[in-house]
Amino acid sequence: MNKKILETLEFNKVKALFEPHLLTEQGLEQLRQLAPTAKVDKIKQAFAEMKEMQALFVEQPHFTILATKEIAEVCKRLEMGADLNIEEFLLLKRVLLASRELQSFYSNLENVSLEELALWFEKLHDFPQLQGNLQAFNDAGFIENFASEELARIRRKIHDSESQVRDVLQDLLKQKAQMLTEGIVASRNGRQVLPVKNTYRNKIAGVVHDISASGNTVYIEPREVVKLSEEIASLRADERYEMLRILQEISERVRPHAAEIANDAWIIGHLDLIRAKVRFIQERQAVVPLLSENQEIQLLHVCHPLVKNAVANDVHFGQDLTAIVITGPNTGGKTIMLKTLGLTQVMAQSGLPILADKGSRVGIFEEIFADIGDEQSIEQSLSTFSSHMTNIVDILGKVNQHSLLLLDELGAGTDPQEGAALAMAILEDLRLCQVKTMATTHYPELKAYGIETAFVQNASMEFDTATLRPTYRFMQGVPGRSNAFEIAKRLGLSEVIVGDASQQVDQDNDVNRIIEQLEEQTLESRKRLDNIREVEQENLKMNRALKKTLQ
């Protein structure tokens, strides 16, 4: 699907809503790569995965996944023959542990029937020997003594030598106390030294490593300690060499399994992403929609996910319906309605849940195109009309009967009569090509087009004349009407002036009365539907209460 529609609808912001629910970097990367598809099997699989994860949460509401970091580059380095460092091994260790925990969780799971998710759980690998090898690295980034016998032997020697150094120094602290400025062992240049008074510097044999700023204290490493320190330095070098050898050895053991571990990490991320989708469903009362095979769209109480306190609306875009034309004044929510439809389709075709009620149905479109907002280009010296028309011309060359088209203020920005004529001609061309289209306009001429033309339906956004505010409720089947006279009267304009103006457009009064009746019928139907929904919710609550009582 074209990238422009994803930018226009701000799809990346929608995906960001799922990020707080993710636990793994692999899941985050898969979310960022997520894009809509027209492949039915892929969408069905994503929907089935979400439904199964919902069922899993019913039995295991605290199901979680161990947080893991991205290891793709680590595995590539292994496959190319490179040896890993401790930090990289810790990343692999974490992935193997997450994989083991998921396998254990799946093997102990009861009362849940899984098909799609089972495929992922069962593809995870178990590497008990590798997990044992990686125990050599503790979480603090330290190689444990048991990593090899040689490392354990070297560290024992270092420990013994350091103990001897401490013993020697403690004896000297007692024996030479009067010659020292302080009764402590100091450290200079990585060596254990005594703080000797300058007047006694020749009384204690050893190597001078430092002198205090005042010159009163000389820091001497006693001769008895020098040899032991040199032995420790040599042993430290042996320790570093042995640790490098261990890193190389374990790298060789892990290398043949690099691809399998990388695949496990991807599966863990995929399960994490599915889990995040379900957590989003729980948080936002979202749903997994039904899929239509004939591009029928039925959205119940659908909301725009990025609009705070968005008003929920119903949209019915039947199989035979080609266009919905939303008429009426600006600032009523027409553009939001366009974006809500487009974004809901994009989310569903990306395998994401939608903000709507159960029973909602989405279509599958190969492409979604939109001309929304002011795309005027100063650099190209194009007017608003020219800019929109250039975009529409480009879109008309690409759309087909498998496309969804969203047009905002079609024909605006030019002479009203010519703009309305162009808008009707464009809509007629799209209708004949059977392109599903939702368009907004403020041209009244398109109301007649919507009434008189087959497979085209009028719609509008409700306006409350009592409060003089839009309600943002979508009224499908009801063309928009001007509320200018009513608003002017309520704002205090003389009734004589309003009456005079009303007489000049008297021919539209009958139409406005019909529209007003349609609005009243729509509002009455909506009230009845809301009452039905309330009854359904009460029934659900009673059913849950009964089930708990019976249990």
Q: What confidence tens digit (pLDDT) does each residue in 364-378 have?
A: 999 999 998 754 443
pLDDT confidence of residue 516: 54
Residue 504: beta bridge partners? Answer: none
CA distances from 246 to 160, 219, 240, 311 (A): 23, 38, 10, 62
Return the SS3 of 486: helix
What would the two tokens of residue 225 be? 């300690």
pLDDT confidence of residue 379: 42
Confidence of residue 527 (pLDDT cuts 50, 70, 90): low
pLDDT confidence of residue 533: 66
The set of residues, in sequence order, having a beta carbon less than 8 Å from that of 443 and lying 6+ positions away, is 327, 411, 416, 419, 420, 423
Task: Say if CB 84 and CB 75 are below 8 A apart.
Answer: no
Confidence of residue 382 (pLDDT cuts 50, 70, 90): low
How many CB atoms within 10 Å of residue 507? 7
Return the SS3 of 172: helix
pLDDT confidence of residue 168: 86
The set of residues, in sequence order, having a beta carbon less than 8 Å from that of 492 and lying 6+ positions away, is none
Cα-flanking dihedrals φ and ψ of residue 297, to 5°?
Answer: -120, 125
C-alpha dihedral (427, 306, 356, 2), degrees to nearest 10? 50
Task: Say if CB 335 and CB 371 are below 8 A apart.
Answer: no
Residue 53 identity (one-letter amino acid): M
Task: Say if CB 455 and CB 320 are below 8 A apart.
Answer: yes
- pLDDT 10s digits, 124-138: 999 999 999 999 999
Rounded distance between C-alpha atoms, residue 146 and residue 137, angstroms: 10
Rounded distance between C-alpha atoms, residue 485 and residue 497, angstroms: 10
pLDDT confidence of residue 529: 63
Confidence of residue 509 (pLDDT cuts 50, 70, 90): very low
Least confident range of 16-25, 321-330, 420-429: 321-330
Q: What is the pTM of this model?
A: 0.84
Give the closest residue to 436 by CA, choosing from 423, 445, 427: 427
C-alpha dihedral (317, 319, 323, 326), degrees to nearest 10? -20
pLDDT of residue 520 exceeding 70: no
Give the closest residue to 50 by CA, choosing from 132, 115, 98: 115
- pLDDT 10s digits, 285-340: 999 999 998 899 999 999 999 999 999 999 999 999 999 999 877 667 889 999 99
For the range 515-522, what are the long-range contacts, defined as Cβ-Cβ under 8 Å and sequence gap of 24 or more?
Answer: 515/478, 515/479, 515/480, 515/481, 516/481, 518/475, 518/477, 518/478, 518/479, 519/462, 519/475, 519/478, 519/481, 522/475, 522/476, 522/477, 522/478
pLDDT of residue 458 exceeding 70: yes
Give the closest residue to 120 by CA, choosing from 8, 277, 280, 270: 270
How many CB atoms within 10 Å of residue 551? 5
Least confident range of 59-63, 144-148, 440-444, 500-504: 500-504
How many CB atoms within 10 Å of residue 506? 8
Give the closest residue to 236 by CA, choosing from 164, 168, 151, 165: 151
Q: Which residues of 214-228 are buried (b: 16+ CB within 10 A; e: fewer)?
A: eeebbbbbbeebeeb
Confidence of residue 524 (pLDDT cuts 50, 70, 90): low
Where is pLDDT greater, at 181 or 286?
286
pLDDT of residue 194 exceeding 80: yes
Q: Which residues of 282-303 are buried (b: 16+ CB within 10 A; e: fewer)?
A: eeeebbbbebbeebbbbbbbbb
Least confident range of 244-258, 404-418, 536-550: 536-550
pLDDT confidence of residue 381: 44
Least confident range of 53-67, 147-161, 518-532: 518-532
Where is pLDDT greater, at 432 or 521?
432
Give the closest residue to 142 by CA, choosing from 253, 248, 239, 73: 239
pLDDT confidence of residue 291: 95
Q: If you search the block for the tokens 């510097």, which residue do you land on?
A: 201
Q: If you search the block for the tokens 């309520």, which residue do you land on?
A: 490
In 27-147 the beta strands, taken as DSSP E runs, fall at: none
Give the closest residue to 411 by CA, choosing from 529, 515, 325: 325
pLDDT confidence of residue 413: 82
pLDDT confidence of residue 328: 75
Mean pLDDT value of segment 140-160: 95
Most trustworthy range by pLDDT among 195-204, 222-231, 349-358: 349-358
Confidence of residue 549 (pLDDT cuts 50, 70, 90): low
Rounded distance between C-alpha atoms, residue 147 and residue 410, angstroms: 72
The set of residues, in sequence order, having a beta carbon less than 8 Å from that of 412 and lying 6+ positions away, is 384, 385, 388, 419, 441, 442
Residue 345 identity (one-letter amino acid): Q
Percent of the chain, pLDDT > 70?
89
Rounded distance between C-alpha atoms, residue 473 and residue 483, angstroms: 16
Q: If you search the block for the tokens 């403690």, which residue do you land on?
A: 170
pLDDT of residue 479 exceeding 50: yes
pLDDT confidence of residue 376: 41
